[in-house]
Each structure stands twice: as structure tokens, then as C-alpha cells.
Structure 1
Amino acid sequence: MSRLAITDLKRQYEALAAEIRPAVEAVFASGWYIKGPVLQACEQELAAYLGVKYAVGVNSGTDALILALLAAGIGPGDKVITSAMSFTATAEAISRTGAEPVFVDILPGNDCLNPALLEGALVPGVKAVLPIHLHGYPCDMQAILAFARNHGLKVIEDCAQAIGASYHGQKVGALGDAGCFSFFPTKNLGCYGDGGLITTDSEPLYAKLQGLREHGMPRKNIQDYTGFNSRLDAVQAAILRVKLPYLEGWNSRRRELARHYHTLLEGVNVQRPPLEISEATTSVFHHYALRVPAKRDVLQKAMAEAGFECLAYYPVAQHRQAVYADRWPENSCPEAELAAETTLAIPLFPELLASEQEAVVSALKQNLEVLYG
């Protein structure tokens, strides 16, 4: 039986191989594999695309979060408000700085942080807000930024799943004090390994980030503070430079596919994700994440047996992971916990065919009928 993956990276590579191979070979031939002109050009191109002054390439999206938080002055004894629903790297990054995450529940329907709950999360020690643009949906940044300004808090955006998404015409990553991106291969803009990026308009923050990613050395061999070895290498930068001009088209295709799924799933016993959060947003559908009535894991297994990979993003909410659950009991963020139990993402990637979408939905309908009647 043929298998349809939730994202098929091979199709994209086959379409771009004639451009990627010479770009990578040029880096090999240059002898300059760490930092250098290719990385510098990549950072400049990404900054221009995202509408920011500065971009700093690092070795992963997780490191992007850690370094951005540290550069913003977050450390031991501090607290950072963030969403209860995400991949656990977000909360982990806060913890790695020595700070403590303060989890806020999500909005039902789009899985983004609920800004109406921010005031209630303002406990002593809070120094920043870390909104997560989950599944490619921009958060309500107007409300989040107003809250942060009122209380003198930093805003670090987690844009790992949302590169190219926009809010009131501005790209995510250009709205807060810093934006953090992941170039993990399955992301809307992915490299062929790990990679990440931090964006900012602040020159002091930019200078601190440049030092942090290289052992705390703003100048060669002169260490001013303890840093990291976290650099986006030139090979990955070359790959990203090839891919970046295609990103807008890929994101447009993702929206087109989402609309087709939305039509195909009309009347089906699932909750469809919204096509947009509001008139102010342009989403990029990193995931097409359904909510199913019950027995999500059984449905996921049945779809796999039918040849369709579907994944739960995410089966355990951040606050209920073992490292935090002793401080965040069950039902402390009920919407996030419900999402963790019921969310199932179905295949979505720019090269997906309409006929494949129809096959996914046909199998979904058949399995829903068996499970729920």
C-alpha cells in the first residue's frame, strides 16, 4: 500500500534539486562553512522579507528562543507568560534561562494564546510574554502588545510555525521585541538539518545576540560574557537562500489547500480549523489541524492503516508535561487540555494534490463512520 506522509519533503527537493545542488557545492568549494558571506546574505534577505532591521542565524529554533530570552534580560528568578499549547521546546527554552513559564490557556478554535487571560497571569516576577503563532495562525498581537506595554514587559514571538504569516500587514517576527524562527526541515521554510533565526529592530539586542551565539564574544577571542556555540552554518544558509523566493508561493498554496479541505469536510463530524482568525490576519497553515469528537488515537491509527499519516499536535499540553505537571494540575488550562486530546492534523504541504486531499477525506469519512456511527 502506498503511504501519504503528513508532509513529503522529497517532492520539494526533487523540484529544487537543480538549484540546491550548485548552491551547496559552491559553499563546499569556497572553504568557508561557518558564518561568512553566504550566511550574511541569507540573514539580510530574511530580514528584508520579514520587514526587520536585523536577523541572526542560529543553530535551531529552540536556541533562537533561549538566546532571544537571554538577550532580553530574562534569567533566574524571572517568569515568562506563554501559551499552554505548543511543542514543549517553548517552555523548555524559558526554563533553560533559569526563568519559570507561566502558562495561559488558548482560544478555542485556533489554539493561540487567549489575551483576555493575560492580566490574571501577571504574577510577581513576570518580565516577558512569549506568544506562539501555532499552526501558522498569528496571535492577537495588538492585545498582547498593549498588555506588555502597560506593564513594561518584553515580547518575544515564537514564529517557528508561522514564517510569512502577517498581522495587520506586518509579518510575524516584526511585531515584538524579537521573533524566533525554526528552519527544521518540515517547516514552511526548512533547511536540510537544524537551523533557526532571531529577528529584531533593536540594535542593542542585535549586538547581544551576535555575541551570545558565539561564546559571548562580540569580538574575536574577546569573551565579555558566557554564551553559546549556536550558528547557522553556511550550507544550510545556502539552501535557505534557494528556497526563500518560493516561500510566498508555497504559503499561498497552503491556504488554497486549506480552503479545499474546508469545502471537502463540510458536514463531516469534525471541527475544521478556521481559514482565518480575523480580517487582520494572513495565516500560513503549517498544519491543518482538525478537532475530532473522541477516540483521536484510534482514528489516527485507522488512518495510518489506510495509508494516511496524521499526527496529534500536541498530545500533551506544555503545562501537563512531567517537568511542569506538579505545579500545573489537571484543568488549569482546560482548552489546551481539550486540544491535546482531540487535535489531529491531516496531510498538508505545497506539493499535495487535490486528488490526494480527496482520498484523505474519503478515508476520514469512512473511519469516522466506523468509530462514531
Structure 2
Amino acid sequence: MDSSGNKVHGYTKKIWYAPNKFESYGDEEIKAVEACLRKGWLAPGPITEQFECEIAGIFGKKYAVMVNSGSSGNILALLVAGLKAGDEVVTPACTFSTTVAPIVQLGIVPVFCDVELGSYVPSVTQIIEKVSPRTKAFFLPNLIGSKPDWQGLKDQLFMLGRRDILLIEDSCDTITNTTITDIAVTSFYSSHIITAGGGGGMVMCNEKSQRDLALQYRDWGRMGTNTESFSERFGHCVDGIEYDFKFLYPVLGYNFKSTEMNAAFGLEQLKKLPLFLETRRQNINRFVQQLKELEAHGLILPKNHDKVDWLALPLMLPNRKDIKSLLEDYA
């Protein structure tokens, strides 16, 4: 490719598509990260705790644990839910890879259900008809922002006498309030509603025991917290020998830690959340209005587009490849 971007020796010019060319951040995020660096604390600390508190409040949960990605959060969600190998979890077939991957990795049995066109999430009926005596949880994504009827699911489980089935919400694609779910996960990847410097995620719950277990699995399996209290740290014995609980590992964990810089970046992004959501709604509405006349030609537009905080605009059409080829020709 020459300096003008033209094709040279068989290479094709890269086409950049708007409006997803750049992430949305500014001096506020840069200054917050710089201030964090100047404090000399890189591991999760007080800024991370503040970010956890604010995100948990939005989701209607008591506790939150920040991790390095939403995918890591999904693994922790299943672990703290107490699911065992052989348990069944109902999850949609139209999904993202790291919703299904941790189910399989942990030896849990995924029971797949279909989704509805236009919403791309399963209906209450589609989920409930997959329930069996071995069902322990529904693990459902708010796919590209579209949410299942969580309240309707809770009501149906109550009617069936299956209040033992957990509602686990993979909300990596959006930030929302769903108090009815038992455990929730979100993501701050660079293209998501807000980002924590290109990555980061959060797992949220209402039980302190689940929060503590999430911390253990996140922090290498370590029992100890960040406390420096001598009595707390040396209040545990192994074979009659007092041990510092920062060096006790009761579970086989991971290193899913994020950083204080990620949280500092995310807190500044969170201040812009209302603006980001409104801008996305306006963009989606404009696209939908301009595409409406194509419904007569087989285009399926998203349902309730004005009530969903879409991460992206989902479109279904019978000749996708031909349309994409045509658009490439006119790009």
C-alpha cells in the first residue's frame, strides 16, 4: 500500500467504518489514570472499591467484585452459585462464546433454548419448557442489550415451586437495573457501554458469602483479604500451626484481578453513562426509522428498539452476504 492508501502488490486498502472508529474518552479519564499512577498504588484499592459500590448500586445488588473481564466474571458467577458438575443450566443457543464456555469448562450441562426474532433473547415459555429436575440455574445474556423477562421468569418459577433455580444474568453487553436476578455480571470492554480503559468486568451478588468466595477465586484462591489486622491474619490454624491467612488457599483459584487504573478510568466513564445511553438511543432510532421501509423486503428490525439500550443494531435479512457485498462495493 502506498502513502495514499492505494492497493499495491495484491494488498487491499483497509476500510474504516464509522461510528465505531474510536473509543469515547477524554481528558477526564486520562487525568484520573495519571492521578492514580502518582498515588503509587496499582493493585485494586479504594478507587476499585468505589467503582464496585457504584456499579452494584446500578444493578440493584449489595456486593460487587471487579475482575479483568466480563468473561472472567462469568466463570466466577457459576463458581459462587455453587453449581456442580452434572448440574443443568438453561442457556440460549443464540449467545456469546464466554457465556457457554464456563458452563462446559466447569462440567455443568448446558441445556439450550431458542430465542425470539427481533429481541434475540428467549421468551419465558422457551426457557421454562427446558426445566428438568436437574435444572439448577438459568444463565442468560442480556444479548447486545436486549433483556429477557426476568420478572416473568421469577414468577413462573414461583408458580412451579422451583424457587431453588438461580437467575444468573450475563449483562456484559449493557449496564442495567435487574434487582430480581441472584447474580449478575457486566463488562467494561472497549466497545461496551462504558469501558474501564479497554477492559475490566464486575460480578455482583446479594450474599456476602458469595462475595467472599468470588474474592477467593479471583485472588489465586487465597483465603485472606487486604486487612493488616494481626489478629485476623493469624486467626487460622493448619495442623495446629498458626498461619497467616494470606498464605492459605482453600480453593483452586485464578488471577482475575483488574487494576486501580482501570477503576479510575471506569469511574470517569460512569459519569458519562446517561449521555452515552441517550446518544445510543438516538442513533438506533435514526437507523430504524430510515430502514423501516425495507421490512417489506424481508428485513427484520429489532423489537422495542426505543426501550432497549442496544450495544449494537441487530438486523436479520434473508440475503445477508449479498447485501454486505453491495455495501462493500459502495463503501
Superposition TM-score, scaled by structure 2 size: 0.82
Distance 1:119 1:159 in 2: 20
Return 5+ residue gaps in structure 2 as ranges.
Answer: 1-12, 225-245
Q: Retained in 1: the 8 A contact 2:92–2:114?
A: yes
Distance 2:39 2:218 in 1: 23
SS at match of 1:131: strand
The Cα offsets for residues 337-364 of structure 1, whole Å up to 9 and x where unpaired, read as xxxxxxxxxxxxxxxxxxxxxxxxxxxx
The 5-angstrom pairing of residues 13-24 of structure 1 reads 13=25, 16=26, 18-24=27-33
Matched residue, 2:4: none
SS at match of 1:76: coil
* 1:77 Cα offset (Å): 1.3
Q: Retained in 1: the 8 A contact 2:77–2:185?
A: yes
Question: Cα 1:273–1:228, aligned 2, differ >3 Å: closer, same or farther?
Answer: same
Q: Retained in 2: the 8 A contact 1:259–1:275?
A: no
The 5-angstrom pairing of residues 274-313 of structure 1 reads 274-276=303-305, 282-294=307-319, 296-307=320-331
* 1:80 Cα offset (Å): 0.8
| Counterpart selection for 1:271 from 300, 313, 326 | 300
| Counterpart selection for 1:48 from 37, 50, 57 | 57
The aligned amino acid for 1:44 is C
The aligned amino acid for 2:150 is M
| Counterpart selection for 1:74 from 83, 92, 101 | 83
SS at match of 1:65: helix
Greater gyration radius: 2
Q: Retained in 1: the 8 A contact 2:285–2:305?
A: no
Aligned CA-pair RMSD = 1.9
* 1:118 Cα offset (Å): 2.5
How many residue pairs get aligned? The number is 291
| Counterpart selection for 2:43 from 34, 40, 55 | 34
* 1:185 Cα offset (Å): 0.6
SS at match of 1:118: helix
Distance 1:212 1:251 in 2: 33
Question: Cα 1:119–1:41, aligned 2, differ >3 Å: closer, same or farther?
Answer: closer
The Cα offsets for residues 254-304 of structure 1, whole Å up to 9 and x where unpaired, read as 112222122211212322112349xxxx4211111111122x123223323
Question: Cα 1:48–1:122, aligned 2, differ >3 Å: closer, same or farther?
Answer: closer
Distance 1:99 1:6 in 2: 39
Question: Cα 1:57–1:114, aligned 2, differ >3 Å: closer, same or farther?
Answer: same
SS at match of 1:127: strand
* 1:198 Cα offset (Å): 0.8
Matched residue, 1:253: 279
| Counterpart selection for 2:166 from 135, 144, 154 | 154
* 1:252 Cα offset (Å): 1.5
Q: Retained in 2: the 8 A contact 1:148–1:154?
A: no
The 5-angstrom pairing of residues 115-264 of structure 1 reads 115-149=124-158, 150-151=161-162, 152-164=164-176, 171-172=177-178, 174-219=179-224, 220-264=246-290
* 1:194 Cα offset (Å): 2.5
1:111 and 2:120 correspond: yes
The Cα offsets for residues 19-68 of structure 1, whole Å up to 9 and x where unpaired, read as 11111112222221111112111111212233321111011111111101
Distance 1:209 1:162 in 2: 21
Return 5+ residue gaps in structure 1 as ranges.
Answer: 165-170, 308-373
* 1:135 Cα offset (Å): 1.8
Identity of aligned residues (%): 26
The Cα offsets for residues 230-264 of structure 1, whole Å up to 9 and x where unpaired, read as 11211111110110011122112211222212221
The Cα offsets for residues 162-219 of structure 1, whole Å up to 9 and x where unpaired, read as 213xxxxxx13x3211101111110111233331101112222112112111122231
Distance 2:217 2:144 in 1: 29
The aligned amino acid for 2:169 is E
1:7 and 2:16 correspond: no
* 1:124 Cα offset (Å): 4.3
* 1:130 Cα offset (Å): 0.8
Distance 2:101 2:50 in 1: 31
The aligned amino acid for 2:291 is L
SS at match of 1:55: strand
The aligned amino acid for 2:90 is I
Question: Cα 1:44–1:297, aligned 2, differ >3 Å: closer, same or farther?
Answer: same
* 1:119 Cα offset (Å): 3.2
The aligned amino acid for 1:109 is G
* 1:142 Cα offset (Å): 1.6
Q: Retained in 2: the 8 A contact 1:113–1:132?
A: no
